[in-house]
Amino acid sequence: MNIFNILLPIVVLLLVFGLTAAIPDEKGLIFNLDNGELCLQTAQCKSGCCHRNSGVSLARCAPKAAETQKCSPLHIYGTYYFCPCESGLTCEVDRSIVGSITNTDYGYCEDQNNTTI
């Protein structure tokens, strides 16, 4: 087997991955999706939240939850019933084993640096 036949597929793959990484702002069909677009996993959304209203609804990219909004803590599943909090906020929730398994541990976004009483 010729060295050219071995290196050609590797070079083509590197070129494709390099071009994909060089254009991060381009809207994609699978990744880099805008809010409102259909998604399967949170990793596909620019916002970082693939949200569904119920177990049988289609999931769509949605903005992360703001302060005092209902939220889900980060988890291993690909979609959320309530989006995780924006950067700098934490989702205050009482976790349970059943809630972790069924994805029903919900809370509210709070700013831990807020010193008002």
DSSP string, 23-44: -TTS--SSSSBPTTSB-SSGGG
15 located within any domain: no
The pLDDT assigned to 96 comes to: 81
Number of domains within the chain: 1
9 located within any domain: no
pLDDT tens per residue across span 54-78 = 889 999 999 999 999 999 987 777 8
- Range(s) of the domain holding residue 91: 27-110
CATH code: domain of residue 70: 2.10.80.10
Helix (H, G, I), strand (E, B) or coil at 80: strand
pLDDT tens per residue across span 41-56 = 999 999 999 999 988 9
16 located within any domain: no
pTM metric for this prediction: 0.68
Q: Whose CA is closest to 107, among 59, 63, 74, 76? A: 74
103 located within any domain: yes
